[in-house]
Amino acid sequence: MSAQAENRHRTAMVRGVLSRPVQLAADLGLVTTGGTFFDYGCGHGDDVEGLARAGVTANGWDPHFRPDVEKASAEVVNLGYVINVIPDPSERRDAVLDAWELTEKALVVSARLNGELRTVSKGRPHGDGFITGHGTFQKFYSQGELRSWLDTVLESETVAIAPGIFVAFKAEAVANEFLMRTRPRRRHAAKVSRSDRIYDEHRESIDALMEFYSERGRLPSRTERPDLQAKLKEAAGSLRRAWRVAVMVTPETDWDTISAERRLDLLVDLALLKLNRRPTFTALPETTRYDVRGLIGSYKQATAEADQLLFSTGDSQVVAGAADESPVGKRLPTSLYVHESALPDLPHVLRVYEGCARWLVGEVDGANIIKLATNRPKVSYLEYPAFDKDPHPVLHRTTFVRIGALDVDERDYTSTANPPILHRKETFVASDYPSRQKFARLTAQEERFGLFDTDTRTIGNLRGWQERLSECGVALRGHRVVRVKSG
């Protein structure tokens, strides 16, 4: 055994919380209370202990810290930052396949990316990686390289859930359900403003019917929600009559618009599924098959429209035109900036465009502003931790996704003396965003005080903005502009 292999255990971190891959798997509903989990290369076992406390049947094996634990199959298996510390490429491959053999439902694999190279002090090249100053081996990947390698080793399409973190599913249907479930959706809440005897007596059942329609854009098929349909038949005589009651008591709700929006949601989903080798109709989740029949008619028609939508994102003129017409976001000459909460409000072409980037990079932790380039295939995820509280939040980190190159990179601004800041926050969010009016009032005040009557390139950074406030004799108190007494 090489010295580098013997030193692998030195990379095991002592943590008091779940690791990023395991926490993300839990957040996305892969790891659940009552489920089973196995950590392949678990280090000190922090994730195992944390999940066990949460009611997950969890165990883990590690060649140095828990070598006597028997490797056992589980619904979810985690291979967390293991492959990047193995110098031998064939041994890396064997580790992935061994973990895959234990997997019943989903395998989570994570590795360090090229952007972390700068953290390797006194590193020297070794094989396809580096030996660090601590004497440990580290292999760094690009996001595209890691996906391609995992797809080849596993002979399966993997799903990016974050930079450097992928999931491989044992069953194609489970993968498709996961992909469609985790995409941004706009939610509608029906407003009941009229009274009706049947509704008043059977409110719970009819509310459930309206919730189903809001989510799917159609009524349940004959075999869906049988318990609910039985209650509705008892209440109104039939599903259709119950629906007429629902429509009558919600005159302010445009149900046709909701159905049209769900049709577009479905096309967005089907367009993006093509990136992971679009499934056959029978491999779709059952509810999605009903959606196709009810909202579009046939899978052939649905995939034809979805393909056209996907291919249109490669046309910069189409992307730019959609950005011009977007009801949300801050439009600049070559980009559109939008808050994460407003992604479902984008035109469907832009939702697919952003979805292509998300397919490559997964969920970018902390990113709340998305920049969609309109002159080249590039999407950036920007992290402004104090977006709601700070009147002009400071940029901490940007993750760049170059879609054409299948490449991901990042830039950290936390040590920058003069970082970029945001202005006119109301332009990034949808009209129903909770703090939008407060943001707009601040912008109106700043315009009245002439704060924007200068070179916008100067005030786009923290230092220039502070100087501009001083020049105008004002200061900010929360989301208010106040005059500063001279002398």
Structural Rg of the chain based on CA atoms: 26
**pLDDT for the residue 259:** 96
The mean pLDDT of 66-93, rounded to a whole number, is: 95
Confidence of residue 119 (pLDDT cuts 50, 70, 90): low
Can you tell me the distance from the alpha carbon of 112 to that of 142, in angstroms, rounded to the nearest whole number? Answer: 9
The CATH number assigned to the domain with range 3-170 reads: 3.40.50.150
Question: Residue 294: which of 210, 218, 214, 241 has the closest Cα?
Answer: 218
State mean pLDDT over 334-360. 97
CA 374 to centroid of chain Cα atoms: 21
What pLDDT does 11 receive? 41
Distances in Å between the Cα of 69 and the Cα atoms of 40, 57, 100, 108, 306 are 11, 15, 18, 20, 48
Report d(CA 484, CA 379) in Å as an integer: 40
d(CA 193, CA 114): 56
| Domain residue extents for the chain | 3-170, 197-252, 258-312, 316-425, 434-483
Looking at residue 120, what is its pLDDT? Answer: 64
pLDDT in tens, 122-155: 567 788 888 887 778 889 999 999 999 999 999 9
Identify which of 114, 136, 127, 117 has the alpha carbon closest to the alpha carbon of residue 88. 127
Alpha carbons 47 and 22: distance in angstroms, whole number:
7
Top-confidence residue, 2 or 357: 357
pLDDT at residue 175, rounded to an integer: 92
pLDDT surpassing 90 at residue 295: yes
Percentage of the chain beyond pLDDT 70 is 95
The model's pLDDT over 373-431, given as tens digits with 9 standing for 90+, comes to 999 999 999 999 999 999 999 999 999 999 988 889 999 999 999 999 999 999 999 99
> Global pTM?
0.88
For 30-78, the pLDDT digits (tens) are 999 999 999 999 999 999 999 999 999 999 999 999 999 999 999 999 9
Rounded to whole angstroms, what are the CA distances from 144 to 41, 403, 425, 434? 24, 10, 33, 37
The pLDDT value recorded for residue 55 is 93
Average confidence (pLDDT) over 345-357: 97
Find the mean pLDDT for residues 248-273. 95
The predicted structure's pLDDT at residue 56:
94
Q: What is the mean pLDDT of residues 94-111?
A: 98
Given this model, what pLDDT does residue 131 score?
A: 83
